[in-house]
A = this chain, B = another copy of it.
Amino acid sequence: MIMSRIEAPRDEDTAATGTLLGRLRGGLPADAVLTDPDVTASYANDMASFCPAGTPAVVVLPRTVEQVQHVMRTATELRVPVVPQGARTGLSGAANASDGCIVLSLIKMDRILEINPVDRIAVVEPGVINATLSRAVGEHGLCYPPDPSSWEMCTIGGNIGTASGGLCCVKYGVTAEYVLGLDVVLADGRLMSTGRRTAKGVAGYDLTRLFVGSEGSLGIVVRATLALRPQPPEQLVLAAEFPSGAAACDAVCRIMAGGHVPSLLELMDRTTVKAVNDLAHMGLPESTEALLLAAFDTADPAADLAALGALCEAAGATQVVPADDAAESELLLQARRLSLTALDAVKGTTMIDDVCVPRSKLAEMLEGTERIAEKYQLTIGVVAHAGDGNTHPTVCFDASDPDESRRARESFDEIMALGLELGGTITGEHGVGVLKKEWLAREIGPVGVEMQQQIKQVFDPLGILNPGKLF
């Protein structure tokens, strides 16, 4: 991971910082205000590479809505920028500190306030860990589907801020589809409720969805009402080996056109498979050019996998191996979840792209990425939520080599350009943050940017909420 660090505050800022700290302490417990520079520096950035991060003036860890309101009122009064944070597992720099900011970490607001099996909802604070919620609702026979790879660490608030995806999206959709209502502290400290706790509701504009994916730039989410589903049967996984990426993508198209609804449909290319073996000795088949993992969580997953396996064979799969049981399935998923970590180990640093294309264009995306890797003489591993057309081309490079770093950055951009050319988006699930803000306008156009900036202005007229992100 790489970041540039902006200089620490100059001396003349000290008095202003003193005022800020005094005000903050007026409404927060002593242990909720961190000022030790070594400590606050550790809150400076999320997990994205190549994203500048500043030095926070202070880190605050509120435990109540009122404390968050106090922080925002103080920030408004003193015109100090606020950077909201969850677990900082984000991959776009959206949680990176700006110089002199208040880092507003929500991780101490971590209570699950309600789980209701009849209404199939949970009400949570933003700092609840995704996996904690999943396990808690599981005890009621329910599930909260969104499962980003970081689910053991990431928070629901962070998931909402970045509109997280995950492995299950191909069947169950993304975070946005599970957020029914929010309590939000606005820039000036006022509290606003959006949405509902009912299954349906259309009273006024959908502000809830506006906040999902807004990367902390419109307000601070302090409570969320989430939709839950009944827990599906345990899923059974199948692995299929293909002689080319194109054949694997053909299989994906056949599966989707055939009306199948797998609970996951993931692709790992040869580079990724090898990286995972190197890291964790998983014994994955290194001779394959592309490995497809598919699963069903239906009443009869073996039968569904058999039908899917036949489509893989028709598309040219050389091997189709259904897992024997849940344990073997879990092993395959672990291999998949290790992919980005394993690719990071290849050359010490990675830039993880997140281009989503119409799934009918997946083969072209893979071929184009291969061309880009050749052009820039780089290792680019591709792992993809293939069923969604959401690829993560991951550029592996040696950050101590300036030329390789430059080529990495250029290839990263060229991958986004390719995605847009194919009718895709620059980000399927990781967000814009700092990393892709120059690309946002290329995707949504000048009118879209103008309207989005005006909406930002409505909620944050002073520009203190996570400035420098998105736009």
Contact = CB atoms under 8 A, between A and B. Distances in A.
A233 to B, nearest CB: 11
Interface in A112-126: 116-121
Interface of A: 116-121, 141-142, 162-163, 165, 169-170, 173-174, 176-177, 186, 190-194, 196-207, 209-210, 212-214, 218, 229-231, 253, 256-257, 259-261, 299-300, 356-360, 385, 387-390, 423-432, 436, 440, 443-445, 447-449, 451-452, 454-459, 470
Contact of A447 (B191, B212, B388): B191
A126 B423 CA distance: 22
A428 B201 contact: yes
A358 B119 contact: yes
B118 A257 contact: yes
Nearest to A439: B203
B358 A259 contact: no
B451 A202 contact: no
A118 B186 contact: no
5 contacts: A118-B358, A199-B356, A200-B388, A209-B209, A230-B261
Contact of A428 (B118, B165, B202, B424): B202
B202 A431 contact: yes
Given A118-B253, A259-B230, A454-B458, A206 B212 contact: yes
Given A202-B163, A230-B261, A459 B448 contact: no
A414 to B, nearest CB: 18
A140 to B, nearest CB: 9
Nearest to A303: B299
A200 B428 contact: yes
A436 B203 CA distance: 9
Contacts of A426: 203
Which of A118, A388, A428, A452 has the most B CB atoms < 10 Å from its CB?
A: A118
A71 B387 CA distance: 41
A333 to B, nearest CB: 19
Contacts of A451: 186, 192, 207, 458-459
Contacts of A142: 259
Contact of A118 (B117, B202, B360, B457): B360
A267 to B, nearest CB: 14
A448 to B, nearest CB: 6
B429 A202 contact: yes
A207 B447 contact: no
B141 A204 contact: no
Residue from the set A173, A205, A449 with the largest chain B CB neighbour count within 10 Å: A205
A199 B359 contact: yes
B163 A447 contact: no
A439 B192 CA distance: 17
Contact of A356 (B200, B257, B356): B200
Given A360-B119, A447-B192, A470 B199 contact: no
Contacts of A199: 169-170, 356, 359, 387-390, 428
Contact of A444 (B203, B229, B253, B388): B203
A90 to B, nearest CB: 12
Contacts of A300: 299
Nearest to A219: B451
A358 B120 CA distance: 9
A109 to B, nearest CB: 20
A455 to B, nearest CB: 6
Which 7 A-B pairs rank lowest in CB-CB distance, beginning with the nearest? A230-B259, A209-B209, A201-B425, A199-B388, A200-B428, A118-B360, A454-B458
